Amino acid sequence: MGNKLFIGGLAWATTDLTLRDAFAPHGQVREARVVLDKETGRSRGFGFVTFATEEEAAKAKDAMNGAMIDGRPVRVDFSQEKDRGDRGPMRRPIRND
């Protein structure tokens, strides 16, 4: 499992602080982060919340899955670590504009 949760379906207006405030009643939040688009700076509609323990994360997952944050129901699940394999660092394609 782990102590990091994936939060999907976030409203565009949701910030790191409002995400933290929504999850804080369920345990000690170590980090709350809304993922932003690199080019526009707008929310990508999902984020992550990390708790101090797995038990707190499990409690928060059960309590918050389907809950309303900023007027939208959110989907909460345990975060899955990406396996980048042997592809090395991601590089942007060269543009010939």
Q: Does residue 94 belong to any structural domain of this protein?
A: no
Q: Does residue 85 belong to any structural domain of this protein?
A: no
pLDDT of residue 38: 94
pLDDT of residue 86: 52
Backbone angles phi, psi at 60, to 5 degrees: -65, -40
Q: Does residue 89 belong to any structural domain of this protein?
A: no
CATH of the domain at 29: 3.30.70.330
What does the block give as tokens for 23? Answer: 């999850």
Q: Does residue 36 belong to any structural domain of this protein?
A: yes
pLDDT of residue 22: 98
Q: Does residue 56 belong to any structural domain of this protein?
A: yes
Q: Are 74 and 6 in contact (CB under 8 A)?
A: no
Q: Are 78 and 6 in contact (CB under 8 A)?
A: yes
pTM (2 decimals)?
Answer: 0.81
Range of the domain at 47: 4-10+18-78
Q: How many domains, the chain?
A: 1
What is the distance between the terminal CA atoms of the chain, rounded to a whole angstrom?
46
Backbone angles phi, psi at 4, to 5 degrees: -110, 130
Distance CA 68, CA 86 (A): 39
More confident residue, 19 or 87: 19
Residues 50-74: tens digit of each pLDDT: 999 999 999 999 999 999 999 999 9
Q: Does residue 95 belong to any structural domain of this protein?
A: no
Residue 87 has pLDDT above 80, yes or no: no
